Amino acid sequence: MLSPQNISLQTINLPELSSLGIDLRILRLDLIHPEISGNKWFKLKYNLAFVKQKGFKKILTFGGAYSNHIVATAAAGKYFGIETIGIIRGEFYEPLNHSLSFATKCGMRLKYVSREVYKNKSNEAFLKELQQQYPHAYIIPEGGANNFAIQGCTEINKFIPNETDLICLACGTGSTLAGILSTAKAHQKFLGFSVLKGGDFLMNDVRRFLEEINIYKENFVINTDYHFGGYAKYTLELIGFMNDFYRKTAIPLDFVYTAKMMYGLFDLIKKGVIREKNILAIHTGGLQGNFSIKDKLIY
């Protein structure tokens, strides 16, 4: 139903890398599709196949006001003729931001719930109630994080060169990392960067995602030092880094996920913490989020 196109692997040529003998490449999953972008494309792939196979007419899912998953699900609904419902964290206010107005234009129905209520998003009783309210809807968890997502993300491995010894990516739920890690080569280590403040639970969440498919791996670490204040928060330093990175490489990063990963990666390389020489950073997409800070970016 979805076939990956336009994905490319680019080398980042910068003196601070070559002087250390580091080969850093970036896997541009952001180029897959303008609307169903990056890792969200892989996370949705088997969910959509299941929806088609079972004949569901509706998808219901969850997200914050800037959620790339909400945007991707709304777009997929439009392309595949499936009704979509988004349970959105927080109050409704106008004008809608870019992400939510895009979702609405794709036909997604938005239902706002308070932060308190939203906390129940994976609570069984709450989900049961929602299912009764929307009896014909297929429910996908926040961030798309379910077993179909893990299955889809294993396919990202096809684009990762054998010789890569360290794979870096930004983590929200950790399910993308779990998916790639589940079928990665034994010599490949993973370094995730939590974009959430207090993301210490993420390593256990990754273990749990893997346990569900009977896989046990420990060749990964999730760093929690580069959240820049928390989810979708940023500092001028981060913005400066993004603009500088774009000037030097012509690669746009998003401020919620990939910029935090790349900043962290360069910082750890500079500090001598990272010893691997053959590094792959995954550009997981999310560029639509930059609309909300458009005036601060040179791209």
Ligand X SMILES: *Cc1c(COP(=O)(O)O)cnc(C)c1O
Please enumerate, as own/partner, the contacts of 28-32 that have beta carbons within 8 Å and a separation of 24 or more.
Answer: 28/251, 28/283, 29/156, 29/159, 29/282, 29/283, 29/284, 29/285, 30/252, 30/258, 30/283, 30/284, 30/285, 30/286, 30/287, 31/6, 31/7, 32/4, 32/5, 32/6, 32/7, 32/285
CB of 20 to ligand X, least distance (A): 26
Residue 284 sits in the site that holds ligand X (CB under 6 A) = yes
115, with CB counted inside 10 A (0-12, 13-18, 19+), is exposed
Give the residue closest to ligand X by C-beta.
286
Residue 143 sits in the site that holds ligand X (CB under 6 A) = yes
Q: Could you give the CA distance from residue 149 to residue 169 in angstroms, rounded to a whole number?
A: 16
Residue 170 sits in the site that holds ligand X (CB under 6 A) = yes
> Encoding tokens for residue 208?
């749990």
CB of 57 to ligand X, least distance (A): 25
Residue 171 sits in the site that holds ligand X (CB under 6 A) = yes
Q: Among the candidate windows 99-107, 119-127, 130-138, 284-292, which touches ligand X by CB under 6 A? A: 284-292
Residue 46 sits in the site that holds ligand X (CB under 6 A) = no
Question: Across the strands, what pairs with 221?
Answer: 191
Q: What are phi and psi of 138, to 5 degrees?
A: -90, 125
Per-residue binding letters, 209-228, with ligand X (x by CB under 6 A):
--------------------
Q: What is the largest CA-CA distance in the chain?
A: 60
User: Toward ligand X, which CB reaches closer, 77 or 152?
Assistant: 152
Considering only residues 164, 254, 259, 280, which one is a binding residue for ligand X as defined by CB under 6 A? 254
Q: Among the candidate windows 95-103, 131-139, 158-166, 172-180, which touches ligand X by CB under 6 A? A: 172-180
Residue 86 sits in the site that holds ligand X (CB under 6 A) = no
Hey, which residues between 173 and 192 contact ligand X (CB under 6 A)?
173-176
For residue 154, give the amino acid letter. Answer: T
Residue 68 sits in the site that holds ligand X (CB under 6 A) = yes
Residue 23 sits in the site that holds ligand X (CB under 6 A) = no
Residue 164 sits in the site that holds ligand X (CB under 6 A) = no
CB 260 within 8 A of CB 232: no
User: Toward ligand X, which CB reaches closer, 164 or 173?
Assistant: 173
Q: Could you give the CA distance from residue 28 to residue 10 in angstroms, rounded to a whole number?
A: 8
CB 260 within 8 A of CB 288: no
Footprint of ligand X on this chain (CB under 6 A)? 38-40, 68-69, 143, 145, 170-176, 254, 257-258, 284-286
